[in-house]
Amino acid sequence: MPGHLEIPLAKFFDSEVYMEIPLHAFQLDKAQIRVFSTKANMGEAAAAHAASILRDAIANRGCARIIVATGPSQDSFIHALVQAPKVAWNNIEVFHMDEYVGVGVEHPASFRRWLKEHVVNHVYPGRVNYLNADVTDLAAESRRYEHLLQSAPLDACFLGFGENGHIAFNEPHLADFNDPLAIKRVSLDDKTRMQQVGEGHFATFEAVPREALTITVPALLASENLVCCVPELRKAEATRNALEGPVSPACPASVVRSHQRAFIFLDLESASLLSSSVLRS
């Protein structure tokens, strides 16, 4: 396997919080991969690692700036993160990744709503920046959000992989690893739209919006740290393609392997299609 390197198991946890030692720990290209027995254990481990990043940033600079993925695949991670000890959320600035065009903040599928319900209403960050895709002038909104996003360094990006390998809403048919934009309007492919139905966000395929605003691939990777949580069997194919296939826009998540400080957290289900040579521990 090109770029494959076995490394010792490591413990990524605060001394006050129990965390399962990973079942598998290895490096692919530049990314560190950790596999845990369950989604809950994966989420706890990822949250402990993320909390450490936040504490260090606040200790060193007095603040932290983060991009947060939203949705069901992130719920165990976010649930553990907002309960992590000694994280000064009043010193943290939060961005989210994407939003459906035309969907209001009160819609059950709104990512702004998810962020409020799962993060903001629990820890009350110092500043939260919402990407509003239900405004009339989407180009102006994209420029506004891009300015905020690029106004200072980003300490971490917390992200997942879509069932088709997208990151944020950078789809395989349009992902650009050298995109000059930080925010852009994109069309969603059919597999992504079906994923939203399967996750219960929309009642029918036809009800899923066809477009979204998203942070682009280079803007995501500009973060100093990537913390990727990819649980569940439905993500197994995307996980295999991202970790064992070529680094290519055909599977946008594969680009995570090129990031110097990327940690990818899996459970046994999402790791189930990885080859045995990769999963040696």
Cβ–Cβ under 8 Å, residues 181 and 214: no
The SS3 call for residue 119 is helix
Which fold does the domain 24-267 belong to in CATH?
Answer: Rossmann fold (3.40.50)
d(CA 212, CA 111): 11
- The tens-digit pLDDT sequence of the chain (281 residues) is 444 433 333 344 444 445 789 999 999 999 999 999 999 999 999 999 999 999 999 999 999 999 999 989 999 999 999 999 999 999 999 999 999 999 999 998 899 999 999 999 999 999 999 999 999 999 999 999 999 999 999 999 999 999 999 999 999 989 999 999 999 999 998 888 888 788 777 778 888 888 999 999 999 999 999 999 999 999 999 999 999 999 999 999 999 999 999 999 999 999 999 998 888 64
Domain definitions of the chain by residue range: 24-267
pLDDT of residue 280: 67
pLDDT of residue 201: 75
Beta bridge partners of 186: 212
d(CA 137, CA 130): 15
Is-above-0.85 flag for pTM?
yes
Q: Which strand (E) or helix (H) includes residue 140?
A: helix 138-149
Burial class (CB in 10 A: 0-12, 13-18, 19+), 128: middle
